[in-house]
A and B are shown apart, each in its own frame.
Chain A
Amino acid sequence: MPSKETILTKIKANRPNLWPLPDVPIFETLATDKKKLFIQILERGGSKVHCVDDSTQIHQVITTHFPENKRMVSALPFLEGIEGITTLHPDFYEGTEVAIIEGLIGVAENGALWVTENELGDVRVLPFIAQHLVMVISEKNIVGTMHEAYKKLGLPTTEGFGVFIAGPSKTADIEQSLVIGAQGARSLLVILTP
């Protein structure tokens, strides 16, 4: 018997009686100011947050944070053509210093930002391979909890890869000492637009 059948037969023989599947309510956060909580949790996790009044200020914020003309790559259409920022191309991301991408949903309770391969210009590795990561998100897209986030996400449609990113990569594998910048991005800058 092929292994699939063997495993399924064993399960049928051994499984417990049907246990009901609970309906999980959409728990919301108690925080009255979601934006404030989002910023606070992000900063606690080692990220930087910058609020701007409109998207024309984004470039300014980025050049202030990364003054030396580093190799910056962006998948955001409105940053196209701006000096110092290269438009993302699937064959052209090696050696990326700063990657600038858009987050679709921000979660206040844990500072996580959802992004799919569509926002990564199909370069799935981009937010991990870049030395520094910049994520732009509108404060309208901040939700309270993961329940709200998954409700908003629904089921995947076209995207084959999606990820919640909640800060710069980190490790505490050596004596429980927190080190920011493990194997992915060394820093995360979140730019909040209205």
Chain B
Amino acid sequence: MTPHAQKAAIFNKDEVRTDWHDASLWMVRKKRDFAVSEIPEWEFLREFASDIKMHTLSKLDDYLELFEKAAIQNGATVHWAEDAKEHNDIVLTILNKHQAKKMVKSKSMLTEECHLNEFLERHNIEVIDSDLGERIIQMLNEPPSHIVMPAIHLKKEEIGELFHRELHTEKGATDPQYLTEAARHHLREKFHTAQVALTGVNFGIAETGEVVVCTNEGNADMGVHLTPVQIHSMGIEKLIPRRSDLAVFTRLLARSATGQPVTVFTSHHRNPKPAGEMHIILVDNGRTEQLGKPDFRSSLKCIRCGACMNTCPIYRRSGGHSYETTIPGPIGSILTPGIDLKKHGQLPFASTLCGSCTDVCPVKIDIHTQLYKWRQIVSEAGLPEAGNKTMMSIMGNGLASPTFFHRLGNIGRKLLRLFPGKERFLSFTVWTKDRDLPKAPVESFREWYAKQAKDA
């Protein structure tokens, strides 16, 4: 069993909870479908989004320089980070320069990827994740289980318990309205006392040097505008050429993510506030390598909407934590093998290859094809996750030879009649864990056909 399958098995032990998780995500998928149905030109928009991103990737060096120039002209400071370590060092240097001990952060998958929180905490900086879901899992010391809804795996009773412990809400209180209100008060105090705010970036605009951040709660803007120093951490693939391209992406993003027609706030940050500082950190961390892989570079088009997770039958019934990656689900399974094939090479197998992810992806990444291609690479590398090789080669030979296939069928039917339980001889394969074998027919189709012909 692969590590993902093992984790998924543990997740599935609580059947009611697994069903609940599955249903929560399916509800989001249905909201997405409704939102999409209101836009007749949806398929054109996906095509445009895909082309704009591919174009940007094909001239990424030019656009990054253009972006940097515009941002500097605006009054921002631009930093370049080759990897996570350099990114984290840059953040720490900015904090130290201002003798800052407290930083508020709004949701950013990039800083999760860089493990920024752990790094800063080691340097005695207090980091406060200010997005409600992020704050919840930060208090629990857990990683996010979804890129848009980080606490989707938690029940309100668990959050109520946590808030009672941490924020002194009433014992047993589970009303989301009440709990959100408690978090609001708790976090408002933090915005006023932090010296630095850090956000992720949804889109960087090359022609204007702006960074655009799409949110619902208002926490990102509270942090950015209330603290003197703002930092925006941005993966280099977040760039788009023109401001007007935002029309395409803002129309696609929220509809795909949560089924909203647009996020509540689409903030365009161009320059620092009076007497403030604005820093933009451009991060590579493996992206240029991915760019060099023709089969997999289109994964860099991803706008992190999470739609592929919400629709994935494996994700929905195994939970985000089972992937043990920063970005779980289908997109995570094609992004991470390139970073560490040994560790994540198992993930492309955590898929039914049904193609639903590809169907919903707003930027038209051929996710399931890439999953399939990663499987080939993993198999060639001889990693154990490639599945039961002996079994596969027996099957392959058997299916190629009609005589052997016929015999195998006879043996199979006999065995099934003699030992009806699957446990007897198929207990070694994960496939039969939750599936029963069919009743064995008395005769094969071939035998039946021969008899018919004789009778006629």
Which of A's residues lie within 8 Å of B, judged by CB?
2-4, 6-8, 10-22, 24, 27, 30, 41, 45, 107, 109-112, 122, 124-125, 128-129, 145-147, 149-151, 153-156, 159-177, 179, 181-185
Contact = CB atoms under 8 A, between A and B. Distances in A.
Contact of B264 (A16, A22, A161, A165): A165
A147 B244 contact: yes
B251 A146 contact: yes
- Which of B45, B74, B219 has the largest number of chain A CB atoms within 10 A? B219
A185 B55 CA distance: 38
Given A21-B52, A171-B216, A183-B130, 10 more contacts: A3-B82, A19-B57, A24-B48, A110-B261, A110-B262, A128-B221, A160-B269, A163-B266, A169-B265, A171-B133
B84 interface: no
Interface in B251-306: 251, 258, 260-274, 282, 284, 288-289, 291-292, 294, 297
A41 B35 CA distance: 12
A15 B291 contact: yes
B208 interface: yes
Nearest to B274: A122
Given A16-B57, A19-B54, A155-B207, A184 B217 contact: yes
B210 interface: yes
B156 A111 contact: no
A107 B180 CA distance: 29
A171 B288 contact: no
A147 B247 contact: yes
B235 to A, nearest CB: 12
Interface string B94-124: 0000000000000000000000000000000
Contacts of B81: 3
A12 B288 CA distance: 9
A162 B243 CA distance: 13
Contacts of A163: 221, 265-268
Nearest to A124: B225
A107 to B, nearest CB: 8
Contact of B80 (A4, A20, A185): A4
